[in-house]
Structure 1
Amino acid sequence: MILQNLQLLQQSPAIFALVIGIGVIGLVVGFTIHEFCHALAAHGEGDSTAHQMGRLTFNPLKHIDLFGFILILVIGFGWAKPVQVDPYNLRHGRLGMSWVAVVGPLSNIVLAFLLGLLFRFELLNTRPGFSNTEDILAFAVSLIIFYNLVLGIFNLIPLPPLDGSKVLGGLLPRSLYGPYLRFERHGWLILIGLVMANFLLSRVAGVNILGSVITPPLRFLFGLAAGPDLARFFF
């Protein structure tokens, strides 16, 4: 986030600080909602592990991993504290694990759509900016919508350890589940390699692999949530 906005820092340090501050709020809200919903879904499925670890709470300090949060602020990729789930306690087994996994990203998308109603009902300006308090508030809400949609979409990518991999694992035929588990143990290396390659390519050659994957559904969902006028302004 910080590296992506360095040009803004040169133009206006005050606006840069405002954008980063709003981004921090959006990410804290997004991570907290995301992990809380994982914990709530697991508890509803019969696994009390997360509840016993104090994760069934809206307290962001219980969900934020400091190092992962610093990384996402600096380079745009990081993580929260993963919610621990014992799959053997889940009432619906692998399908229960898929449900626990998918509600995290869905919670971010639902939150984005709820906030988008403020623009849909014209309670906020669809041309946000920094000229007055109303415009700044509109920009802040639109940025929180943006980051929550990014969190939701990115986590649905079916690569370990992202939620999408657990969703896919729970839906696979039993004959494929064993081989998939073996892949899942090492699949995170693919994700780390992809993120590192994406970071280098975007800096050296201006090629954003992850951006090309995430941006189309992001633009589509942003337009659905907050309306086409705000989407055109934002993208």
Structure 2
Amino acid sequence: MVNMRIIVPTLGNILTGFLAVLIVATPREYIKGFVAYKLGDTTPKQAGRLSLNPFVHLDPLGTISFILFEFGWTRSVPIRYWKLKNKKKDLLKISLLGPAVSFILFFLCGLIASHLPEEDFWWFLMVKAAKYNLTYALFSLFPIPPLDGSKILASLLPDRYMEWLVKYEVYGVLFMIALLVLWIIPLVMNPFVRFIDGFVWMIVR
């Protein structure tokens, strides 16, 4: 049976979902960009990503996916690995940092929610932010560009394969959109979302 809440979300779901995405995106992408900048890559600064303005970190389709399917993605910080001081090692550090930040935010949001009155607006927001952060932490490990998992994989490959993977990153974005449109990603992520949903409720309550 089709869950109509996914197809036609309520105004409350849209609002809390959108605000939850801001909580997911801003710290994660800012920290990644800041660390990349400190490690020698000026690209994040040049691209205007060293900012706490959440809207520069949002991906429109990824945001919609979060609200409709309870998983999605943010606008990945551009990183030119050849500008980093220790190319592969630094790229691996930055790529692992994304999921790590999401895991930390998951625990923080869950902890805050556990101290709020249930069914309160802020409680709903923190619960949703906790869920989004955990699903994104797992989803971002998929080796599909531009997700962090693809950069983790690239940093572990020989140089010639690494350069090929980075070069064709833009096609990975189109591939991910196609998987979403064809309903393949939602089918794959559905078991994870269900598990995470139960896990989040256990933490919060």
Q: TM-score range by the shorter chain?
A: 0.7 to 0.9
Cα pair 2:143 2:150 within 8 Å, conserved: yes
Q: Which of 3, 6, 9 pairs up with 1:4?
A: 6
What is the CA–CA distance in structure 2 between the aligned matches of 1:217 and 1:171, rounded to whole Å? 30
1:12 corresponds to which residue? none
Structure 1: 5+ residue stretches without partners: 10-15, 130-134, 203-207
Structure-to-structure mapping, 1:186-225, within 5 angstroms: 186-198=171-183, 208-212=187-191, 214-215=192-193, 218=196, 223=199
Q: 1:95 aligns with which of 79, 89, 96?
A: 89
In the alignment, structure 2 segments of 5+ residues that lack a partner are: none
Map 1:8-157 → 2, pairs under 5 A: 16-65=10-59, 67-68=60-61, 71-72=64-65, 75-76=68-69, 79-119=73-113, 122-125=114-117, 128-129=118-119, 135-157=120-142
Contact 1:33/1:104, CA 8 A, preserved across alignment? no
Separation (CA, whole Å) in 2 of partners of 1:210 and 1:185: 22
Partner of 1:205: none
* Structure 1 vs Structure 2 CA RMSD: 3.2
The share of aligned pairs that are identical, in percent, is 26
The number of residue pairs the alignment matches comes to 201
Distance 1:72 1:97 in 2: 27
Q: Report which stretch shifted further, 94-103 or 184-193.
A: 184-193
Alignment TM-score, normalising by the size of structure 2:
0.78
**CA radius of gyration, larger in:** 1
Which one-letter code corresponds to 1:160 in the other structure?
P
Q: TM-score, normalized by length of structure 1?
A: 0.70
- Structure 2 residue matching 1:139: 3-state secondary structure: helix
* C-alpha distance after superposition, 1:188-230 (max 9, x if no partner): 454333222226x97xxxxx22223x337635xx73xx57264
Instruction: Determine the structure 1 residue equivalent to 2:202.
Output: 228
Decide whether the 8 Å contact of 1:47 with 1:90 is kept in 2: yes
SS of residue paired to 2:48:
coil
Partner SS, residue 46 of structure 1 = coil
CA distance in 1, matches of 2:139, 2:159: 26
* Aligned equivalents of 1:30, 1:177: Cα separation in 2: 28
